[in-house]
Amino acid sequence: MPKLFLVTGANGHLGYNICLFLKSENYNVRALILNNDDPKRLEDLGVEVVKGNVTVPASLTSFFAVEDPDETYLIHCAGIVSITDKNLELLYKVNYEGTRNIIKLFQKYGLFKMVYVSSVHAIKEKAEGEMVFEPEIFNEKDVVGEYAKSKAKTSSFVKKQAKTGLNIVLVHPSGIVGPGDLGNGHLTMMIEDYLNGYLTSRVKGAYDFVDSRDVAKGVCEAALLGRRGESYILAGHRIDLKQFFDTLRQLSGKTTVVNILPSWFAKLFAPLAEFYYKLRGKPPIYSKYSLYTLQSNANFSSLKAETELGYTKTPFADTIKATIKWLYLEGRIKNKKVKKYIKDNY
């Protein structure tokens, strides 16, 4: 019987790209989405869609019921990504308790292998200039921010379960950017707001940004080739925000250069920025935590994933171009000059 992949969080930015990649490789895919999610884009891929919630184990019975557990792989990427320290109860309920539920069911149903999608934020920061590699131990006390703590705590739990014999692998993506984000993640919102003229200023800083399609492929490679109990960093390219916005400007036909906000000003007005995006019904594109992150050491090494999994990285400009094109096709670019430029040049 051919391999079956179960994917949680399948309507999310990464989850959708995972399903897209798996279907391109002709694998059977069963996708878990929330009850109020629209299944259409997954069904259009030929994916079997099941509705449920990782925080409610009783809702997951049909998702886990498979004919051949020995040929079934579970990819767990359902989770909350947050750059604020709000809604902490839900954050831990989904990221930590939800993962505990998934592992219990993975064990109960005797599935062959599981990949847990963690984050580089779960990894203790190194001194500036040092390379960051996969750690053996995760500790929530070693990281900053509640999102990072939730991922570190969960990663520690997952590692311990793997040591008991469960066939589980961990992956740690950096800042995911690229096509496929219907959930309005803060990086997607940053690009969209710049293209539409809402975003005219930026802060100084840099981070490692990775293509959503590269991470999706890397996750699937980890499922097939990753070693039990091992962690794999899936990073991209460390990009200064000046280069980030210069690339956006060049690939969108815009002529205006964004202003640079002093760090003290950005920190002072971060709560107002969060409130502004809340009024718009959108997640914030920056907060005190994201400002901290942009000043942190983002020298993440993907050497282990490259060596053991065959992991590869898309050039940053290609990622931005694909994101712009996807936003255009989704009707999310309202700026007439940018729309015309894309229509004429893409």
Tell me: the pLDDT tens digits for 39-52? 999 999 999 999 99
pLDDT tens per residue across span 82-118: 766 667 899 999 999 999 999 999 999 999 999 999 9
| Contact predicate 100/168, CB 8 Å | no
Residues 310-334, mean pLDDT to the nearest whole number: 97
- Lowest mean pLDDT, pick from 153-157, 183-187, 228-232: 183-187
**pLDDT value at position 85?**
65
pLDDT tens per residue across span 264-277: 555 556 566 565 55
Rounded to whole angstroms, the Cα distance separating 64 from 15 reads 17
Q: For residue 136, give the nearest of 155, 149, 164 by alpha carbon.
A: 155
Number of H helices, E strands in the chain: 14, 12
Rounded to whole angstroms, the Cα distance separating 142 from 170 reads 18
**pLDDT value at position 280?**
61
**pLDDT value at position 292?**
77
Rounded to whole angstroms, the Cα distance separating 34 from 10 reads 9
> If DSSP states are collapsed to H, E and C, what string results for 49-99?
EEECCCCCHHHHHHHHCCCCHHHEEEEECCCCCCCCCCCHHHHHHHHHHHH
Rounded to whole angstroms, the Cα distance separating 32 from 48 reads 9
DSSP letters, 265-314, are HHHHHHHHHHHHHHHTTS--S--HHHHHHHTS---B--HHHHHHH-----
Mean pLDDT of the chain: 92
**pLDDT value at position 242?**
94
Percentage of residues in the chain having pLDDT higher than 90: 80
Give the strand pairing for 28-33 and 4-8: parallel
Sign for the CA dihedral angle at 220, 224, 228, 232 comes to negative
Q: For residue 5, give the nearest of 25, 105, 58 by alpha carbon.
A: 25
pLDDT at 23 over 70: yes
Rg (CA), the chain: 20
Place domain 4-178+209-238+298-314 in its CATH homologous superfamily: NAD(P)-binding Rossmann-like Domain (3.40.50.720)
Q: In 3-state terms, what secondary structure has residue 5?
A: strand
pLDDT at 286 over 80: no
| Contact predicate 50/63, CB 8 Å | yes
pTM for this prediction = 0.94
| Amino acid identity at 345 | N
Res. 281 pLDDT band, cuts 50 70 90: low
Residues 155-172, mean pLDDT to the nearest whole number: 97
| Contact predicate 166/114, CB 8 Å | yes
**pLDDT value at position 268?**
54
Res. 224 pLDDT band, cuts 50 70 90: very high
| Contact predicate 84/145, CB 8 Å | no
Res. 201 pLDDT band, cuts 50 70 90: confident
Percentage of residues in the chain having pLDDT higher than 70: 91
How many CA atoms lie within 13 Å of 37's alpha carbon, on the beta-carbon side? Answer: 23
pLDDT at 186 over 90: no
pLDDT tens per residue across span 241-262: 999 999 999 999 998 788 776 6
